Amino acid sequence: MTSTSTTTLSTPRLVIYACGAAFVVLLASIPAFAGSYLTSFVLALMISFVLAQSWDWVNGQMGYLNLGHFAFYGIGAYAFAILLTRGVQIVPCFAAAIFFASLAALLVSLPLFRLKGDYFAFATLAIVPLCELLANNFEGLTKGSEGITLPPDYVLVPAYILAALLVALTLATTLWLMRSRFGYALRAIRNDEQVAEVAGVRLFPYKAATLMLSAAFAGLAGSIQAWQFSYIAPNTMFNLGVALVPIAGALLGGSGLLLGPLFGMVLFSSLEQALLVKMSHLREAVLGVVIILIGRFLPGGLLRAKWISRHDLLSWLSRESHFEIGGHRHATAGERLPLVHREVDTDRIVLECQGATMAFGGNVAVNNVSLKIRQGEIVGLVGPNGSGKTTLFNLISGIYRPRSGRILIEGRDIADFRADEITRLGIGRSYQIPRPFAELTVRENIAIGRTFGASKTKLLESMRTADIFANFVGLGGLLEQKAELLSLQQKKALELARALAAEPKLLLVDEVASGLSTVEIAAFVKHIRDIRDQYGITIIWVEHIFSALSQVVDRLIVLDSGAVIADAPLAEAMRDERVLTTYLGHAAGEAK
């Protein structure tokens, strides 16, 4: 597998680079041989591409649908025009376009990123009309609806060259996003924001930085376009109909793909040029039809069409590029996990809950829970369905805040810690209903856990060593498999690998044995024991299958209706009347 995958990649890679180089040469030479009509058409196309691609960093990579992206283009154009007409040198004018567009992005980030999904998209729809209103009304600065006329220099060729450089920079940035730790933060957010945070991704800075990056490119694109137009007005720079064109282009080509926005925008602009020169008033209708057709027949865009992704050469058009990072190493069986060994010191308290209480409305899910977990212990946490086990895990990992009481990790109160900080303190967890990053591979899932978690390993190194963790949980052969294609048990195994890779001190395992065969359960029990014995990791294991639990736990904590009703060494807990009736009453039968 190792060698075949590298050799089959190398020929098309050459072709791609050759095509890329030819494309750049062709693009750069257009002003030399083409007339000004074609040159300005290609210039407008390049600007649209920059808009489409920078929009797609937020949408295709991070999963936020921003319908207000075009406003940053207008803001850049206005910042540039206002300063240029006041006699400022050209370079600071371009710098101002970048600066004000990203500043605007930072300002809107604060309220916008409190919203999710459709609410976010809907709120962003207001940005372009709002900017148009402002541009119309701040007449002292913008000359209102009259617009700004720039010095009538002939700047088509320099504007063209600048736009071509911006296109190259845009492509390079996309490639960087595909392959960098930063980009993985975005793809984790796109797949499951809450899990991303628990994996250690600090959400807001990534989201704001991405919106600012996309705004900076849009702002520069706007200033180049303003320079070439030599006249701007609110109704062209903040026009909602035009605003949606780059979005439609990116969706047409394939949002999230390396070449999707480029392909879509070229196709879309050429079509528009061919069909709509005389009927530009139909643009919105055509846009709508295009988006409906894509949604109906080609969800994911043209480049994700089956006949393209299955074709030897063409499949390169549909690649996402991030899958091949770190080579294709495969671990040998029994290879030691690259984790530090922690000396077991049972006098150390890893976790302490002091009267922790959590309620959903009137339903008290965790009721005044106090407990201490010592380093190197394996503790079984049991109780009937709905007794608050998962909620307690959610409190410890910072997804919920206790209504009262405290939670201390190695003596530190975590009341003010975000979920990502708690992870970096050394808390790892799995989810009862598995939540791997569905669109990413097994390797990538594990690498994200490793690079953003307490281990803080570099991305490349995390990718290279992911196979050892995958092997450990029995997913060795599935490294390049997308997580969404795994079976339920494989997803649970992946969660364990992702949590382990983060290098936790305390691992919270939420029901992994149900649905496993006896042999698989035995293997799993061995994993839990190895994790503690070989690496000194403390474990709290929530499990219904008592026969599995009883093989390995030192101590049992029993919850009933959110309260601790027993906390004792295994043998002792099993003699407790209350424990036997509330929990072990049915589980003990199963254990036999």
> For Mg ion, which stretch binds (CB under 5 A), given 5-13, 185-193, 427-435, 445-453?
427-435
Site map 384..423 versus Mg ion, x via CB under 5 A = -----xx---------------------------------
Residue 40 binds Mg ion (CB under 5 A): no
Report the sign of the C-alpha dihedral through residues 60, 441, 462, 15, in that order: negative
Instruction: Answer yes or no: are the C-beta atoms of 482 and 420 closer than 8 Å.
Output: no
**Which of 78/393 has CB closer to ligand ADP?**
393
Contacts with ligand ADP by CB under 6 A: the residue count is 11
Residue 385 binds ligand ADP (CB under 6 A): yes
CA 562, CA 185: separation in Å to the nearest integer?
A: 35
Q: Taking CB within 5 to 8 Å according to partner kind, which of ligand ADP, Mg ion, none is near residue 29? A: none
Q: What are phi and psi of 574, to 5 degrees?
A: -75, -10
130, two tokens: 């709002």
Residue 360 binds ligand ADP (CB under 6 A): yes
DSSP 502: T
CA 342, CA 350: separation in Å to the nearest integer?
A: 12
CA 11, CA 424: separation in Å to the nearest integer?
A: 42
Residue 561 binds Mg ion (CB under 5 A): no
417, two tokens: 């810690």
* Helices 240-253 and 69-85: angle between axes, nearest 10 degrees: 130
CA 301, CA 284: separation in Å to the nearest integer?
A: 19
**Which of 483/557 has CB closer to ligand ADP?**
557
CA 213, CA 105: separation in Å to the nearest integer?
A: 9
> For ligand ADP, which stretch binds (CB under 6 A), given 176-184, 295-303, 381-389, 438-446?
381-389
Residue 365 binds ligand ADP (CB under 6 A): yes
Residue 401 binds ligand ADP (CB under 6 A): no
**Which of 191/390 has CB closer to Mg ion?**
390
Residue 432 binds Mg ion (CB under 5 A): yes
Residue 383 binds ligand ADP (CB under 6 A): yes
- Smallest distance from Mg ion to CB 591, Å: 19
304, 319, 389, 505: which one contacts ligand ADP (CB under 6 A)? Answer: 389
563 DSSP β-pair partners: 560
Instruction: Answer yes or no: are the C-beta atoms of 414 and 407 closer than 8 Å.
Output: yes
> For ligand ADP, which stretch binds (CB under 6 A), given 209-217, 360-368, 401-409, 439-447?
360-368
Report, in angstroms and rounded to the nearest whole number, the Rg of the chain calculated over CA atoms. 28
**Which of 481/514 has CB closer to Mg ion?**
514
Touching Mg ion, residues 336-395 (CB under 5 A):
389-390
Site map 306..345 versus ligand ADP, x via CB under 6 A = ----------------------------------------
DSSP 116-177: -HHHHHHHHTTHHHHHHHHHHH-HHHH-GGG-EEPP----HHHHHHHHHHHHHHHHHHHHHH
Closest among 578, 363, 322, 498 to 490, alpha carbons compared: 498
Q: Taking CB within 5 to 8 Å according to partner kind, which of ligand ADP, Mg ion, none is near residue 256? A: none
> For ligand ADP, which stretch binds (CB under 6 A), given 295-303, 336-344, 388-396, 524-532?
388-396
Q: Taking CB within 5 to 8 Å according to partner kind, which of ligand ADP, Mg ion, none is near residue 471? A: none
Residue 84 binds ligand ADP (CB under 6 A): no
59, 66, 223, 387: which one contacts ligand ADP (CB under 6 A)? Answer: 387
**Which of 43/540 has CB closer to ligand ADP?**
540
DSSP 466-500: HHHHHHHTT-GGGTTSBGGGS-HHHHHHHHHHHHH
CA 258, CA 261: separation in Å to the nearest integer?
A: 8
State the burial class of residue 451 (Cβ atoms within 10 Å of its Cβ: 0-12, 13-18, 19+).
buried
> For ligand ADP, which stretch binds (CB under 6 A), given 16-24, 136-144, 367-375, 378-386?
378-386
Footprint of ligand ADP on this chain (CB under 6 A)?
A: 360, 363, 365, 383, 385-391
Footprint of Mg ion on this chain (CB under 5 A)?
A: 389-390, 432
